Amino acid sequence: MTDVMIYVQHLLGIGHVRRTALLVAEMRKAGLSVGVVSGGIPDDAIDFSADEVIQLPACRSADLGFSGLVDQDGNLVDDAWKDGRKNALLAAYQTLSPRLLLVEMFPFGRRAFRFELLPLLEQAGQDGVKRVCSVRDLLVRKKDISKERWMRDIALSHFDRVLVHGDPAVFGFDRSFPFAADLGDMLEYTGYVAADIARNDAGPRGGVVVSAGGGAVGADLIAAAIAARPLSGKYADVNWDIITGPHFPVDAFAKLAANMPAGITLHRFLPDFRERLTHAVLSISQAGYNTLMDVLAAGVPSVMVPFAEGGESEQTERAEIFAARGIISLVSANDLTPEKLALAIDNADFPEEFELSLDGARIGAAKIRAIIMGKDYGHLG
């Protein structure tokens, strides 16, 4: 028997996976055994550090607009594929035999996977297994309120607890989910899930880190950053590291590498990315949840350009909130030019103090352990 089974599915970037890995590490520190069931494309850079990892038949988003699902070979998934994957997921559940099932995002996202998740959740309910949703602070805005009602109804009927990885002192889940109040006491906050990074507040800093996220997007940001470097009055003469992410297109990476200006080093992946942030004078990135948390934990000034394609709203909304608090500098994707980016780069700063809970991994793990043990630690913080 496994204490916790975690279901996670990444479609473009690997932010969901990185947040899950931080939670796994804290669960294991809390003495829990953890099995992860992953449905995304396998990646050597991903280390869940779980007791067991089960890989389902993999799939990803067909495009940036999330128009459909394709398998590992790029073929559109059909009903036969879905049926096979549902059976594989139920088999993984039987293998792990968990005391608690933790589902990442669903039902507040990953609706396309209800063909396998609803049967899984129903089976866990029949077996008396606790069912917990792990969800980030902000959801992508929906134009059809009936979908949000469906999210609420599934949460109420198929889950025992909803853990929101955000800080209500900044904003509550109701900011992006209108039926949050209907969830009542089953809705709890963990604080933001951030890596435990040793900050370099006293030591020297040098160099600029440009990161395009872990997914297949970010080419425009990288191109603008390269062009902005000579326009910067502060950082034109320091070394810049550009990290494309492991899923950046191979052809585009090769083209960039062949034309990289002096003073800039191109990387596909950096295992010591978080450590480099602590020694950098500036971070330039998209505004995904995990990248923002890394920047805050490292205490580095930052310029963020939120990903906003395919109707995605959560990066922009979160970045606007943090920019209004003076924590980050913001350039919208629509306004992204080398000149505007260079201006934001030269004006970027990091506040001496800010109120924000970054201990969400530890608190989340403690809450999950308490649920398993049958203890009421609903407001543990």
Tell whether 352 is covered by a domain.
no
Confidence of residue 313 (pLDDT cuts 50, 70, 90): confident
What is the rounded CA–CA span in Å between residue 66 and residue 64?
Answer: 6
Does residue 154 share a domain with residue 250?
A: no
Does residue 298 share a domain with residue 365?
A: no
Confidence of residue 375 (pLDDT cuts 50, 70, 90): low
Beta strands in the chain (DSSP E): 2-8, 34-38, 52-55, 59-61, 69-71, 98-104, 130-136, 161-165, 187-189, 208-211, 240-243, 264-267, 282-285, 302-304, 329-330
What three-state secondary structure class fits 44? coil
Does residue 153 share a domain with residue 215?
A: no
Amino acid 310: pLDDT: 62
Does residue 233 share a domain with residue 362?
A: no
Confidence of residue 77 (pLDDT cuts 50, 70, 90): very high
**What is the DSSP secondary-structure string of 297-322?**
HHT--EEE----GGG--HHHHHHHHH
Does residue 339 share a domain with residue 369?
A: no
Tell whether 201 is covered by a domain.
no
Tell whether 136 is covered by a domain.
yes
Amino acid 381: pLDDT: 41
pLDDT over 60 at 52, yes or no: yes
Q: What is the 3-state secondary structure (H, E, C) of 60-122?
A: EECCCCCCCEEECCCCECCHHHHHHHHHHHHHHHHHHCEEEEEEECCCCCCHHHHHHHHHHHH
Choose the weakest-confidence range: 95-99, 211-215, 341-345, 374-378. Answer: 374-378
Does residue 153 share a domain with residue 293?
A: no
pLDDT above 90 covers what percent of the chain?
Answer: 73
pLDDT over 70 at 289, yes or no: yes
Does residue 220 share a domain with residue 183?
A: no
Does residue 295 share a domain with residue 187?
A: no
pLDDT over 50 at 286, yes or no: yes
pLDDT above 70 covers what percent of the chain?
Answer: 95
**What residues make up the domain containing 261?**
208-347
Tell whether 378 is covered by a domain.
no
Amino acid 269: pLDDT: 85
pLDDT over 60 at 216, yes or no: no
One-letter amino acid at 339 equals E
User: What average pLDDT does this structure show over 105-115?
Assistant: 96
Amino acid 191: pLDDT: 97
Tokens of 312: 């995605």
What is the rounded CA–CA span in Å between residue 120 and residue 87?
Answer: 10
pLDDT over 70 at 56, yes or no: yes
Tokens of 255: 């083209």
Confidence of residue 199 (pLDDT cuts 50, 70, 90): confident
Tell whether 109 is covered by a domain.
yes
Amino acid 33: pLDDT: 98
Residues 6+ apart with CB under 8 A from 218: 212, 244, 245, 248, 286, 307
pTM higher than the cut 0.75: yes
Tell whether 353 is covered by a domain.
no
For the chain, the average pLDDT equals: 91
Does residue 81 share a domain with residue 144?
A: yes
Spatial contact of 154 and 117, defined as CB atoms under 8 Å apart: no
Does residue 144 share a domain with residue 181?
A: yes
User: What average pLDDT does this structure show over 356-361?
Assistant: 92
Tell whether 200 is covered by a domain.
no
User: What average pLDDT does this structure show over 226-252?
Assistant: 92
pLDDT over 60 at 376, yes or no: no
Choose the weakest-confidence range: 20-29, 46-55, 207-216. Answer: 207-216
Helix, strand, coil percentages (3-state) for the chain, rounded to 5, are: 40, 20, 40
What is the rounded CA–CA span in Å between residue 350 and residue 334?
Answer: 24
Q: What is the pLDDT of residues 316-356, one digit of tens each?
A: 999 999 999 999 999 998 899 999 999 999 999 998 777 88
Does residue 362 share a domain with residue 329?
A: no
144 or 99, which is more confident: 99
Does residue 282 share a domain with residue 184?
A: no
CATH number at residue 265: 3.40.50.2000
pLDDT over 80 at 273, yes or no: yes
Number of domains into which the chain is organized = 2
30 or 204, which is more confident: 30
Amino acid 163: pLDDT: 98
Residues 6+ apart with CB under 8 A from 6: 20, 23, 24, 34, 35, 36, 37, 50, 102, 103, 104, 134
